[in-house]
């Protein structure tokens, strides 16, 4: 029953994140009535939401005033350097899709889910920010798994805001990089790369890897958490583009979930396959043998599993021949 009820605290937390309750109350403790006036929300509904947050110890209630404990504010307010608010907001969008799982299972079609109350551009920013929340703390250690790491020119495909490119460039100080992602992401990437002091080593190229050719000339192609959103057919098409774009002797590295042959382990990967079921037309989580088959089919050689991870950071390395 605890599993069945677990949607309740998750829904309370994600609703508060979408409404930016924590940032508002951290700036100024308030009553439910006053906060509803600021947020443009219903007073009764706001009081019930705030009381639930207080019950979960995410807010403190004294009399009719609500405030945010400092340990919560550190993680869930806009201005905090340690904020994971973007990821929580992204998970709010995931939750709306997961609620339709029975219908998705019946039809085989992804969930119908429009933008959150924050709007599509804000949802996109939350997704990109959420990926940074998760990846930035682990990126340097994951990159170490690729040692010895040598490359002159990195192509980061579906680069988001550049978190992994930054880690790879810091590991190889003499290298440069091309970041390739959708036009709507480029401003976020430009800002993060500038903050990292790497602007002179990075070229930003806007495009869509489903429809556009990839920039050529790289000797290392990085596919970080991209393959799971695709069907195997889509991955083969993408791998073929990567193969064409790489220099002879170049290397492609995939960072993603790698499943055991049973597909039931790791547990996190089996659950993430459900996330792809409700969110994409054909995405999923794949075994190493499936990755190896699809990479070899388009011409890659010496495909090997460099690092196995229980989550999203297994690493597969494949080489392009010199010819």
What domains sit in the chain, N to C, each tagged with a CATH number?
Answer: 2-83 (1.10.10.10), 136-319 (3.40.50.150)
DSSP one-letter code for 254: E
Burial of residue 44 (CB within 10 Å: 0-12, 13-18, 19+) is exposed
pLDDT of residue 122: 95
pLDDT digits (tens, 9 = 90+) for 271-280: 999 999 999 9
* Residue range 206-265, pLDDT digits in tens: 999 999 999 999 999 999 999 999 999 999 999 999 999 999 999 999 999 999 999 999
CA distance 187 to 185: 6
At residue 57 the predicted structure's pLDDT band, cuts being 50, 70 and 90, is very high
Cβ–Cβ < 8 Å for 211, 278:
no
Question: Could you tell me if 238 and 230 are in contact, meaning their C-beta atoms sit under 8 angstroms apart?
Answer: yes
pLDDT number for residue 80: 94
pTM of the predicted structure, to 2 decimals: 0.93
Between vectors from CA 191 to CA 210 and to CA 185, what angle results, nearest 5°?
Answer: 20
Write down the pLDDT at residue 322.
Answer: 86
Nearest in space to 201 (alpha carbons), one of 162, 232, 174 = 174
For the segment 123-147, the average pLDDT, to the nearest whole number, is: 95
Packing angle, helices 7-19 and 85-98, rounded to 10: 130
């Amino acid at each position: 029953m605890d599993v069945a009820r677990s949607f309740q605290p998750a829904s309370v937390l994600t609703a508060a994140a979408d409404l930016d309750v924590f940032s508002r109350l951290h700036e100024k403790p308030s009553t439910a009535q006053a906060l509803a006036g600021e947020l443009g929300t219903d007073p009764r509904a706001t009081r019930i939401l705030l009381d639930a947050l207080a019950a979960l110890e995410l807010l403190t209630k004294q009399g009719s005033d609500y405030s945010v404990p400092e340990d919560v504010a550190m993680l869930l307010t806009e201005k905090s350097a340690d904020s994971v608010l973007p990821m929580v907001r992204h998970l709010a969008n995931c939750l709306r899709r997961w609620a339709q799982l029975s219908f998705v299972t019946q039809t085989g079609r992804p969930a119908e889910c429009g933008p959150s109350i924050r709007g599509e551009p804000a949802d996109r920013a939350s997704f990109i920010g959420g990926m940074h929340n998760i990846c930035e703390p682990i990126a340097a250690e994951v990159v170490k798994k690729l040692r010895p790491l040598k490359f002159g020119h990195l192509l980061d495909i579906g680069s988001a805001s550049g978190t992994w490119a930054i880690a790879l460039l810091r590991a190889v100080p003499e290298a440069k990089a091309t970041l390739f992602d959708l036009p709507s992401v480029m401003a976020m990437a430009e800002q993060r790369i500038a903050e990292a002091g790497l602007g002179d080593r990075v070229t930003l190229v806007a495009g869509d890897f489903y429809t556009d050719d990839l920039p050529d000339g790289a000797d290392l192609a990085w596919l970080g958490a991209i393959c799971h959103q695709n069907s195997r057919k889509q991955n083969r098409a993408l791998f073929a583009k990567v193969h064409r774009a790489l220099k002879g002797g170049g290397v492609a590295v995939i960072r993603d979930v790698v499943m055991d042959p049973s597909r039931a382990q790791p547990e996190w990967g089996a659950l993430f396959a459900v996330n792809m079921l409700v969110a994409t037309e054909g995405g999923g989580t794949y075994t190493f043998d499936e990755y190896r088959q699809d990479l070899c089919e388009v011409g890659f050689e010496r495909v090997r599993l460099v690092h196995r991870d229980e989550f999203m950071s297994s690493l597969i390395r494949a080489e392009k021949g010199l010819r």
